[in-house]
Structure 1
Amino acid sequence: MSRADLLAIPDADLREGRVQHAILVHMDFLDAPRRWWTGWGDMEHDGYVWQGTGDLISIAGLESNYSLNANQVTFSMTATPEMVANALEARARVRGRDVTVSLGLFAEGAPSPMASFALFAGTMERMPWALEGTTNWTLTLECEGLFARRNAPPRGRWTDADQKARHSGDKGFERLPLYANGYETKWRG
Structure 2
Amino acid sequence: MPESIAALQRGNVVRAMRLVRLDFASETIRVHQAAGPLRTADGSVWSGLGELGQISDIDRAVVPSNGGPTLTLSGVDPGLIAKTLSASSEVKGRPVRIFDQHYDDEMQLLDAPFAIFAGLMDRMSIQDQGDAATITVTTVTLLHNRRRSPFGYLNAASQRRLYPGDGGADQISRLVQANEKWPGY
**Range of TM-score over shorter length:** 0.7 to 0.9
Query: For residue 68 of structure 1, what is the aligned residue in structure 2?
Result: 62
Following TM superposition, by how much is the alpha carbon of 1:97 offset from its aligned partner in structure 2, in angstroms? 0.5
Query: Tell me, what secondary structure is at the counterpart of 1:96?
Result: coil
Matched-pair contact (CA < 8 Å) for 1:122–1:145? yes
Greater radius of gyration (CA):
1
Choose from 13, 18, 21 the match for 1:23. Answer: 18
Matched-pair contact (CA < 8 Å) for 1:97–1:124? yes
Choose from 50, 54, 60 the match for 1:54. Answer: 50
Query: For residue 28 of structure 2, what is the aligned residue in structure 1?
Result: 33
Q: Does 1:103 align with 2:100?
A: yes
Query: Tell me, what secondary structure is at the counterpart of 1:128?
Result: strand
The one-letter amino acid paired with 2:99 is: S
Distance 1:137 1:9 in 2: 38
Matched-pair contact (CA < 8 Å) for 2:16–2:103? yes
Normalising by structure 1, we get a TM-score of: 0.72
Distance 2:161 2:91 in 1: 29
Q: Sequence identity, in percent?
A: 24
RMSD over aligned Cα atoms:
2.9
Query: Aligned pair in 2 of structure 1 residues 172, 51: CA closer, same or farther (>3 Å)?
Result: closer
Matched-pair contact (CA < 8 Å) for 2:159–2:166? no
**1:102-153, CA deviations, whole angstroms, 9 ceiling, x for partnerless residues?**
1111122134342322111111111122245x55632211111112111325
Matched-pair contact (CA < 8 Å) for 1:126–1:143? yes
Distance 1:101 1:131 in 2: 26
Q: List gaps (5 residues or longer) in structure 1.
A: 1-5, 174-189
Query: Aligned pair in 2 of structure 1 residues 158, 52: CA closer, same or farther (>3 Å)?
Result: same
Distance 2:5 2:157 in 1: 60
| Residues matched between the structures, number | 164
The one-letter amino acid paired with 1:59 is: I
Query: Tell me, what secondary structure is at the counterpart of 1:126?
Result: strand
Distance 1:28 1:53 in 2: 17
Query: For residue 85 of structure 2, what is the aligned residue in structure 1?
Result: 88
Distance 1:84 1:115 in 2: 34
Distance 1:116 1:159 in 2: 45
Choose from 114, 136, 143 the match for 1:140. Answer: 136
Query: Aligned pair in 2 of structure 1 residues 47, 158: CA closer, same or farther (>3 Å)?
Result: same
Query: Aligned pair in 2 of structure 1 residues 171, 91: CA closer, same or farther (>3 Å)?
Result: closer
